[in-house]
Amino acid sequence: MIKKFLIAGTALAAIAAYSVASQPVEAGSCIVASAKARALNDAKATDKSMKHLKHVISHWAHKNKDKVVKVGKSHTTCAKKGVLAVCTTSAKVCG
């Protein structure tokens, strides 16, 4: 009998924790913004992807009516796809 109560209590606690954690965050929301660019070499593709990332961040801030956003450290990965270099840059952005 006690075992059934323990199992039921654990299940109820898990459901409560999930419902609290899944609520949307209103103030200070964060996203991971990413941008992709193609060019003939890695340097140009990186520059283009950084420029596009700034555009994506600016669009997100304007859409959420944020005047100031905090941008975390950005990460860039590049790969060769045939003749072109394809670079993806991503960063955590909080408003």
Nearest in space to 39 (alpha carbons), one of 86, 90, 93: 86
Pairing, β 84-94 against β 75-81: antiparallel
Number of domains in the chain: 1
CB 36 within 8 A of CB 86: yes
Does some domain include residue 71?
A: yes
Q: What is the pLDDT of residue 25?
A: 43
Q: What is the pLDDT of residue 20?
A: 45
| Residues with pLDDT less than 50, the chain | 5-6, 20-25
Q: What is the pLDDT of residue 3?
A: 58
Domain extent at residue 44 = 28-94
Q: What is the pLDDT of residue 90?
A: 96
Does some domain include residue 66?
A: yes
Question: Where is 4: in which H helix or E strand?
Answer: helix 2-21
Q: What is the pLDDT of residue 75?
A: 94
